[in-house]
Structure 1
Amino acid sequence: MVLYASHPKSNHQQMLEESSQISSFQERHIGPSPNDAQQMLEVLGYTNGNNTEESSHRFSPLDELINQAVPHAIRLSRPLKLPKAQSEYAALTQLKEIASKNQVFRSFIGMGYYDCITPPVIGRNILENPGWYTAYTPYQPEIAQGRLEALLNFQTMIIDLTGLEIANASLLDEATAAAEAMSMSYGFCKNKANTYFVSRDCHPQTIDVLQTRAQALGIDIIVGDHQTFDFSEPIFGAILQYPASDGTIYNYRAFVEKAHAEGALVTVAADPLSLTLLTPPGEFGADIAVGSTQRFGIPLGYGGPHAAYFATKQEYKRQVPGRIVGVSKDAQAKPALRLALQTREQHIRREKATSNICTAQVLLAVMASMYAVYHGSTGLKRIAENIHQITMILAEGLKRLGYGIGSEHFFDTLRIDLGKRSLEEILQACEARKINIRIFNARTVGISLDETTTEKDLIDLLEIFAGTDDLPFCVEDLALPTSPSPHLPLKRTTTYLTHPIFNRYHSETELLRYLHKLETKDLSLTTSMIPLGSCTMKLNATSEMIPVTWAEFGKIHPFAPQSQTQGYQILFQQLEEWLAEITGFAGISLQPNAGSQGEYTGLLVIRNYHESRSQGNRNICLIPQSAHGTNPASAVMCGMKVVSVACDSEGNVDLDDLKAKAQKHSKELAALMVTYPSTHGVFEEQIQEICAVVHAHGGQVYMDGANMNAQVGLCRPEDIGADVCHLNLHKTFCIPHGGGGPGMGPIGVASHLMPFLPGHSVVKMDGEQRIGAVSAAPWGSASILVISWMYIAMMGADGLTEATKVAILNANYIAKKLEPYYPVLYKGKNGLVAHECILDLRSLKKSALIEIDDVAKRLMDYGFHAPTVSWPVSGTIMVEPTESESKEELDRFCDAMIAIRQEIAEIESGKMDAQDNVLKNAPHTAESLIVGEWNHPYSREQAAYPAPWTREHKFWPAVGRIDNAYGDRNFVCSCLPMDVY
């Protein structure tokens, strides 16, 4: 989409270009048409006749705006070197060709990852449904009751299966959840121990991530045998795998009792499906349970995204990492859901936060919860019993073939002693039948079965180990009774999933209606723009999403041999090259699977770089006061000490204060964390000098990539002076937010930091100086990288740059239109903002007793999600329209904000009551308008239909304003009895 040409063109040439643009993805992605953009630029005072550039040719008005907004010193002087933009059809065709290079083998590797069946009703109506995947984090809960209910179901499911008292709304992956459990245990340690015991029977990727986390925090890790560990060395905690990684089911009760006697907390990493048959961790004394719900209908996806779980005891509720959905009540005393105990979050606690995780895997947790809703306790138990039955048959068959089984106590995984058979011979037979198994060593292999395993699979496996297609027995003769099973020593005796929610939607008709009912309670991008500053809620195009569900990407195990994943390797290579060109960096790591994890990884890379140069004493991290709350939390997790840097009256980093702090801590300075454009929504003119100051004192510059949507094609972090930067692919590069997750947070680094990028213990990567794994899978949530690949491939260099320009145009247009009503708090050198603007509402509290939340809730009556509220400055809203919103939608939002200001003016003038008014009582539900007496000084019509478009299509909030304090005082994080709904 070229808004204005620098040189005149012939009519023929113009027609050809316009013809090609009609079908270009760029035209679909960018909201304003050229004519609309022209009008917006005129509002801002930019026309073809007022060019201020000293040039022999006329720049377009849009270019002039960009030249005024973005400092010349940091501008990229050439186009990005990216492949030419492709049409949606062409890009899908090319990606399909790449995908075809992946070989989809039957996977029996296990290690916490299983093939599974996504019920089509869930796949089509959640995973492939923009009503679910384009929603934002439920920070405005009145218009997020659908996904909050689904997450409450998820928490209830986890509480029931683990036998513990509370659970959160999911974490990034099982290994990360284990690391969070270790950190929480460390915080509760009362015996002053500094050592954590890790069972050698844990999954190797979990051990890897634990060791990475422990090193930065100064924690000593003992990896050992829980059966022989004598507690001679004090420990503050321990983690056990249940069943063990090799399939063995151990009775951990005695170990747990000994650990508790030493004052240590015990975490159990448990497979949730096995817990339908096995004694839950809470019943044998575990303090924390973690694990993955991937096998609850979530595709393998070469490692993700998948929803991990975290459950613990009630007494630890304020230290639980991540988000917790809790029950409260609304203004009409109806039950209502919202995120509970939010004072734990990083934006409030900053460097005192218990974790840096500010996200969840919401979309995947919703899918997993609905898998349980659909199947119920009976269905889940049947699935588990079937898997266990075929595992017993396989074990019996292998024994008859002369193989030894590692343990007689197992659920779905067998460890097999090869005896005289060679490993090479077994692997050749596996490859011939397109089967993958786990390799422990040259003499031992493992097989994990799942709900997709068929009788044919069983026969193929037995024939592989028999070395012949002619088995000496019939598989039918091996059938054994499911119950009681001699191989399950710790049988579950307690009930689970007894709540009606898990027992009423077992037909597809009923589940379909339930899913649709929940979807209609949520405001997503299918309803209106979501103008959240720093969150970049842009178009998640259908063509970008389609490849996620292709089997060639979805059915690949993360530890499949790389010879079978050549398509993925091509995808990674191309995406890394493109992101390197966009950022200017020499190296990219795709492993971090969230923005917060990208921050953590980037700082770990810096930490190890300093240590490699015998400067391990460098542990001071300078962080501006305006920084994201995850920044200081990430720094503390990396063993750094946070020193705050002031901001000046314009919202920029106070250069004098930075220089003073850098000088004071010169010998210990590790890094500066800085967001660019700034968290205050402007391009700081002094950013290069800021970087130079830090470098002069031996530090490294970490750039938070949250605002990369204002940089792509215009400037590059490495050129500016950054040494490392994380990229929120779920923002700038179109991976959807999914109601609060998934995300991806890869990092780019300068050449001197490349040797320290993350490695992995299972999939070996070149480089001896690599830090340990930060995610369970080597390439994080690999399956959703196809979304960003499609976006870049379809936009091309020109499209990406144009998108950035229009994002800046849209933000300045909103700022200009709303400034007469709400002051714009911060502006750049030429009176412009970057891709977002902060509107100051603080005076309204004094003039009309109106709080920022009153405006946020009233926006719901107009059909909008509020912008970012009270961050980074209390009493303000931060608006980011993105490039995908049309002028019509921008005008509609501005009209709503102007109308709300007029409603406030009526309060200021005394025309409207200061306490009983449309803002204080917002949002208005349909029930509140219809049922009972109407005793307010304004009409029902004004409450419900404040703008013309609300009469054409009305989004009704499901509940009235929620009492957050009540919910925290009366903490409940599981499903309520059905009669309260």
Structure 2
Amino acid sequence: MQAANQPNGQPTLSDLEQKDAFVARHIGPSTAEQNAMLQALDVDSLDALIEQTVPESIRVPAPINLPSSRTEEEVLAYLKAVAGKNQINRSMIGMGYTDTITPNVILRNVLENPGWYTAYTPYQPEVSQGRLEALLNYQQMVLDLTGLDLANASLLDEATAASEAMTLCKRMAKAKKANAFLIDSNVHPQSISVIETRAEPLGYEVIVGDLNELVDQHEFFGVLAQYPGTTGEINDYAELIDKVHAKKALFCAAADIMSLVLLKSPGELGADVVFGSAQRFGVPMGFGGPHAAFFATRDAYKRSVPGRIIGVSIDARGKQALRMAMQTREQHIRREKATSNICTAQVLLANMAAFYAIYHGPEGLKTIAGRIHRLADILATGLQSKGTELANDTWFDTLTLNLGDKRDAVYDAALAAGINLRKNGNDQLGITFDERSDREAVEALWTAILGENHGLDLDAIDAELSANGSSSIPAAMQRESAILTHPVFNSYHSETEMLRYLKKLENKDISLTHSMIALGSCTMKLNATAEMIPVTWPEFANLHPFAPMDQAQGYKQMIDELEEMLCAITGFDAICMQPNSGAQGEYAGLLAIRNFHQANGDAHRNICLIPTSAHGTNPASAALADMKVVLVKCDDKGNVDIDDMRAKAEEHKDDLSCLMITYPSTHGVYEEGIKEICQIVHDNGGQVYMDGANLNAQVAVSQPAAIGADVSHMNLHKTFCIPHGGGGPGMGPIGVAAHLAPFVANHPVQQIDGPKATNGAVSAAPWGSASILPITYVYIALMGENGLRLATENALLNANYLSTKLGEHYPVLYTGRNNRVAHECIIDIRPLKETSGITEEDVAKRLMDFGFHAPTMSFPVAGTLMIEPTESESKAELDRFIDAMVQIREEIRQVESGEMDADSNPLKHAPHTLEDLIDPEWDRKYDRAQGPFPIPALKESKIWPTVNRIDNVYGDRNLFCSCIPVEAYAED
């Protein structure tokens, strides 16, 4: 770095320090590459490109209030000091969160491995077979443990899964006139809160109490019980379930996954839906998440199951292959008629839980569960022998003690010994054992409860229990059915075998470790190593979300500082961190608007205007918030029709609740009329919800609040570098203007400063998936104000370079001012289909032969490909992608001219596998090598799809969503 103003041309110390070195590492194009791309666009500078592209009316007039960029070493050292303010006690709080041990082979090779955490949702299954197999294993694990017919590939957390169970009951129960959902008072309080939040807009009545009484007193469509209860009790619900079914309602069980290793499965008792958290299968508590929820039900309800289901199909050679089944259930297709707004899963965490079960196997899990239960038995036996009263006489891992006025003193004594317990009511303490619990914990608890001279002998009590057995799990409730009998759960118990299995699956998938993933609207950018490192620090990973706040001061400081950063970036006054996905953020933001209108006496305001180009989650979220969707037309250029917007806003002005709009638009352009659109809505009494899916084109260039938005969600897994994890985790915190700040989510267990205390929760944990917030924190701190602006400028540069180069060969569907696009572009394959019969799917599959994951297919316009390169890809990588697309266009021309057969060509047979290359009966009307090696460079480095094109229709007609039969597994 030369300083021109120095007499001898030597750099200064400030030059040599390079505080902004990370910025150049995050941004793909070098200065020379940027200049070359600018030249190709006939633009002098990045500033000039911004002037050409971004409407002047929305540009940030002054620098945003963020510090300058810092080095990786500085940021990590600072954050480590902040994390050190967290106090990691032995956690025995329970309530759905327990300490666990992540096997190191899984920690290093999955959680900390970009080959697993940078992959995208498996919408292109031919290059996703590894994580699809891992998810199928997860589903099999859930089916075995719950005793039901059908499981999905995970949901966001246990509490939101509970709310999904309620809505499934409403849809599927035959008690059609009933409007009540009954919840046992022994359900985790956070789950009750999220259910109540979900039920209120939908008009369902939630009744909490003793189920044995409620079932006789009410008409209802569904019932929920915790199994075991939040205070530890194990109930045999078989008789109660018979009563529920007699009333044509459905029974849901919120189950503890580790307990199901030893307990009779809820499916065997007759439950219709079983859900819970898979967190204790090797996933750190992380102050609340991310964690995979499991969800299982009966086959009869398969078309109403929320989230994703992995199914077994066949490929073009008849070989078994995996895919996401029945995608027609998804909200992107069904929109306001969708059964859920779920847009993501917790794939990375579900994979970890499945690998945990595979690594330990059924016998290993029985050992772990048995040890947990034995420790609880030993503690209970000792306490009872000394006169301590237990609230329950059955338990798996959780004891509740009736301590009367001794409760607080015992709590404090345990705290002094470094143990966190749970206060129940006024006179009870809850104690939950976990995988990390040991003899020392039992001894410490006896001392805290009974005093130092308790005189109990742990080994003697253990010997007595071994000789005489225990009745804390009643004989009728002990599991007799086998679990995890499939070979996958019985083959990889040595670290060598496990490591090779993990690598085998990883090698089947394309991730960002291989090539750019140019998915429009999904912002698959660099997830830098420095950003990922704090996630697994014990100070962040091992804290219970309901730990006393004085033990979470590091988290509190980090979250507060991150909220300030996000407020500076977006222009909003407050942030709610609780939503743990983008769609959840939409829902939370709409609830804030709904609560605001109700507080102002405008409860009748329920009309939600949504452009026809919007994400499918928008109308689905509006439906969950009890809003009536009114669609607004788009013009021929893809922009919102302002005249139609004005007419509909005025038509519904007395009932207008809000507008949901994405900016830049879903079509990838900066709409010139956005401020006018926002003003029209405000003039007619509505609020503006801005979908933050495309925020990567706004950061440090414009601000949602300055444009006119009242609330917006921020996809931290897009714009702010949390990785996609193969389809999750995600984070969707919302920014709100001051007038909406009192109306965002709060939490029943851990009160949050700011929102009204009576506001319900939208997710299980107070700050959502808190353990991945350090990723975004580190990203913003490393980039600083100037780096963030450069990132946005380069995102626009890369997108416009791609658009211009591809526009020479394909029609670009929508452009904005000066023929520019924002951060993504849409190329139209429909005219080519008319002339050649080649579809957007053919192009997507052919890209796999070049080593690329396809762009977004048929969204937001059918028959198109939406491409977003992000700022993290170099010009060299962009040119590689362009060369592939140009070669594909040449192949299409050969089909158009008749030089290639219309049916037997590389596009129709793509992707090509090794089996194609070695097939002795090659009968296709093109050269054998042309399929897998369309360009010479691929002979040096080739990513092979492991299956040929998958038959989607076969997979849906023959739904099979558990591990493939043992015979086929052996053949494979």
Q: State the TM bucket, normalised to the shorter chain.
A: over 0.9
Match of residue 960 from structure 1: 948
Alignment equivalent of 1:919, drawn from 880, 890, 907: 907
- Is it true that 1:372 corresponds to 2:334 in the alignment? no
2:86 and 2:62 mapped to 1: Cα distance? 36
d(CA) in 2 for partners of 1:42 and 1:819?
16
Which of the numbers 531, 539, 549 marks the counterpart of 1:544? 531
Is 1:499 aligned to residue 499 of structure 2? Answer: no
Q: How much has 1:12 moved relative to structure 2?
A: 4.7
What is the TM-score normalised by the length of structure 2?
A: 0.98
Residues 179-218 of structure 1 aligned to structure 2 (within 5 Å): 179-191=163-175, 192-218=177-203
Structure 1 residue aligned with 2:543, among 534, 542, 556? 556
Relative distance call for 1:285 and 1:571 in structure 2 (3 A) is same
Deviations 1:407-426 (A, max 9, x none): 11110000001145x23321
Q: Compute the displacement of 1:488 (Å).
A: 0.8
Aligned residue among 16, 35, 38 for 2:35: 38
Q: Which residue of 2 aligns with 1:138?
A: 122
C-alpha offsets along residues 437-456 of structure 1, whole Å, 9 cap, x if unaligned? 01003311000001111111
Cα distance, 1:889–1:482 mapped onto 2, change above 3 Å: farther
- Matched residue, 2:90: 106
Aligned partners of 2:732 and 2:936: how far apart in 1?
A: 41
CA offset digits 1:936-976 (Å, max 9, x no partner): 12122211111233122100001000000000000000001
Contact 1:758 1:770 in 2 (8 A): no
Verify the 8 A CA contact 1:861 1:943 in the aligned structure 2.
yes
Cα deviations by residue, 1:175-194 (Å, 9 ceiling, x for unpaired): 00000010111112332111
Q: Which amino acid aligns with 1:856?
A: A
Are the aligned partners of 2:633 and 2:640 in contact in 1 as well (CA < 8 Å)?
yes
Query: 1:959/1:621 Cα in 2 relative to 1: closer, same or farther (>3 Å)?
Result: same
1:477 counterpart (438, 460, 463) = 460
Matched residue, 1:865:
853
Q: Which residue identity is paired with 2:285?
A: L
How far apart, in 2, do the equivalents of 1:724 and 1:328 lie? 42
Contact 2:711–2:737 (CA under 8 A) maintained in structure 1 = yes
Taking the aligned partners of 1:782 and 1:39, their CA distance within structure 2 comes to 41
- Partner in structure 2 of residue 254 of structure 1: 239
Pairwise mapping of residues 823-972 of structure 1 onto structure 2 (< 5 A)?
A: 823-972=811-960
3-state DSSP class of the match of 2:264? coil
Give yes or no for contact 1:152–1:325 (8 Å, CA) kept in 2.
yes
- Indicate which of 595, 603, 611 corresponds to 2:590: 603
Match of 1:455 among 429, 439, 443: 439
Inter-partner Cα distance in structure 1 for 2:495 and 2:442: 30
Matched letter for residue 49 of structure 2:
L
Question: Which of 207, 223, 232 is the aligned partner of 1:238?
Answer: 223
Q: Relative to 1, partners in 2 of residues 1:890 and 1:20: Cα closer, same or farther, differing over 3 Å?
A: farther
The correspondence of residues 422-437 of structure 1 with structure 2, limited to 5 A, is 422-437=406-421
Q: CA deviation at 1:11?
A: 7.8
Task: Provide the secondary structure at the position in 1 that maps to 2:459.
Answer: helix
Aligned: 1:585 with 2:572:
yes
Q: C-alpha separation between the residues in 1 aligned to 2:519 and 2:602? A: 40
Q: Identity across aligned pairs (percent)?
A: 58
Report the 3-state secondary structure (helix = DSSP H, G, I; strand = E; otherwise coil) of the residue aligned with 1:268.
Answer: strand
Is the 1:111–1:203 contact (alpha carbons within 8 Å) kept by the matching residues of 2?
yes
- Deviation (angstroms), 1:482: 8.5
Give the match's secondary structure for 2:251: strand
| Residue matched to 2:321 | 336
Query: In structure 2, what is the Cα distance between the partners aligned to 1:397 and 1:695?
Result: 66
**2:752–2:766: 8 Å Cα contact kept in structure 1?**
no
Counterpart CA distance in 2 for 1:18 and 1:822 is: 45
The structural deviation recorded for 1:398 is: 1.2
In the TM superposition, residue 17 of structure 1 has moved relative to its aligned partner by 6.5
8 Å contact from structure 1 (residues 115, 299) kept in 2? yes
Q: Which of residues 658, 662, 667 is equivalent to 2:645?
A: 658
Q: Which whole-Å deviations, capped at 9, do the CAs of 1:684-723 have from their partners, x for residues lacking one?
A: 0000000000001100000000000000000000000000
Counterpart for residue 558 of structure 2:
571
How far the C-alpha of 1:77 sits from its partner, in A, is 1.0
Equivalence for 1:24: 21
Letter in 2 for 1:180: E
- C-alpha deviation, 1:14, in angstroms: 6.8
Cα distance change, pair 370–829 in 1 and its aligned pair in 2 (3 A) = same
SS at match of 1:248: coil
Q: Which runs of 5+ in 2 are unaligned?
A: none
**Does the 8 A contact of 1:804 with 1:883 survive in 2?**
yes
1:688 lines up with 2:685 in the alignment: no
Partner amino acid, structure 2, of 1:838: I
**Normalising by the residue count of structure 1, what TM-score does the alignment of the two structures yield?**
0.97
Structure 1 gaps of 5+ residues are 48-60
User: How far 1:769 sits from its partner (Å)?
Assistant: 6.4
Contact 2:287 2:771 in 1 (8 A): yes
State the partner residue of 1:89.
73
Q: Is the 8 A contact 1:385 1:482 kept in 2?
A: no
Partners of 1:482 and 1:159 lie apart in 2 by 34
Cα-Cα RMSD: 1.5
CA contact (8 A) 2:313 2:321 kept: yes
Structure 2 CA distance for partners of 1:13 and 1:687, relative to 1, 3 Å: farther
The alignment partner of 1:109 has SS state of coil
Change (3 A) 1:483 1:667: farther
Give how far 1:9 is off.
9.1
One-letter amino acid of the counterpart of residue 444, structure 1:
Q
- Out of 50, 67, 71, the residue aligned to residue 66 of structure 1 is 50
Q: Which moved more, 1:517-526 or 1:14-23?
A: 14-23
The partner residue of 2:145 within 139, 142, 161 is: 161
Contact in 1 for aligned 2:19/2:69 (Cα 8 Å):
no
Q: 1:229, 1:753 → 2: CA distance?
A: 37
8 A Cα contact 1:536 1:881, kept in partner:
yes
Give 3-state SS (helix, strand or coil) of 1:623's partner: strand
CA deviation string 1:590-636 (max 9, x = no partner): 00000010000000000000000010000010000000000000000
CA distance in 2, matches of 1:90, 1:483: 59
**Number of matched pairs:** 963
Provide Cα deviations, 1:240-287, integer angstroms capped at 9, x if missing partner.
100000000011111111111111111100011111111111111111
Check 1:482–1:958 CA distance in 2 against 1; reply closer, same or farther (3 A cut): farther
**Cα distance between partner residues in 1 of 2:756 and 2:108:** 44
Taking the aligned partners of 1:947 and 1:835, their CA distance within structure 2 comes to 28
The residue identity in structure 2 corresponding to 1:975 is: C
Aligned match of 1:127 in 111, 119, 136? 111
- Kindly indicate whether the alpha-carbon contact (under 8 Å) linking 2:82 and 2:558 is maintained by their aligned counterparts in 1: yes
Change (3 A) 1:429 1:11: farther
Instruction: Report the alpha carbon displacement of residue 823 of structure 1 after superposing the two structures with TM.
Output: 1.1
